[in-house]
Amino acid sequence: TQIFQDPTLGQFVILSGSYETHENGNTDPFVLQIFSSGNECVRLEVIRQGTDLEMTLISPQGAIWQDDDGGVDTQPLIKAITNVRGWYPLVLSQFAGAPANADFDLQYGRFASNSAQCSPPTTPRTNNAKSDTGAAGGLSNPNSD
């Protein structure tokens, strides 16, 4: 892990990871929890990849941001305006689920929600956010889903 400071972009952390397929055929996507304080810009960009990756970020309330080729060449880029404070699962995998053994570098930064880092923001694929009761669709029983 290294911290990168760019005068025009701000501060990023660069994380290195691997996507692997084992000899028995099991695929191991890279999975990480990303923290957000909510209502902020979370920018995730693959800056080096050994296979064509896809990236998925999931909000604790159900919003899903997903990208395959939004960055340079076929590198994924997510610019999420987060909707709640908490931990967001991040999954990187080969874009078509194909077997591969490949390393990558991921650039990660958190900024104010109006930052140019998220302009334009990635639109969530879905936004099935739960209500304050904790149940899908606003049901009164929080354990109904």
pLDDT in tens, 70-99: 888 899 999 999 989 999 999 999 998 888
Count of beta carbons in the 10 Å neighbourhood of residue 36:
21
What's the CA gap between 53 and 65, in Å, rounded? 14
For the chain, percent of residues with pLDDT exceeding 70: 79
Question: Up-side HSE of residue 18: CA atoms within 13 Å toward CB?
Answer: 8
What's the CA gap between 82 and 65, in Å, rounded? 10
Residue at 127 is within a domain = no
Per-residue pLDDT at 38: 93
Residue at 6 is within a domain = no
Residue at 99 is within a domain = yes
What's the CA gap between 69 and 123, in Å, rounded? 14
Q: Give the domain extent around 40.
A: 12-112
Residue at 121 is within a domain = no
Residue at 17 is within a domain = yes
Residue at 128 is within a domain = no
Residue at 135 is within a domain = no
**Least confidently predicted of 11-20, 31-40, 56-65:** 11-20
Owner of token pair 């078509």: 96
What's the CA gap between 111 and 118, in Å, rounded? 8
What's the CA gap between 34 and 17, in Å, rounded? 14
- CATH code for the domain in which residue 26 is found: 2.60.120.380
pLDDT at 127 over 60: no
Reading the block at residue 104, the tokens are 């990558």
Residue at 56 is within a domain = yes
Please tell me the total count of domains within the chain. Answer: 1
Q: Residue range 39-50: average pLDDT?
A: 95
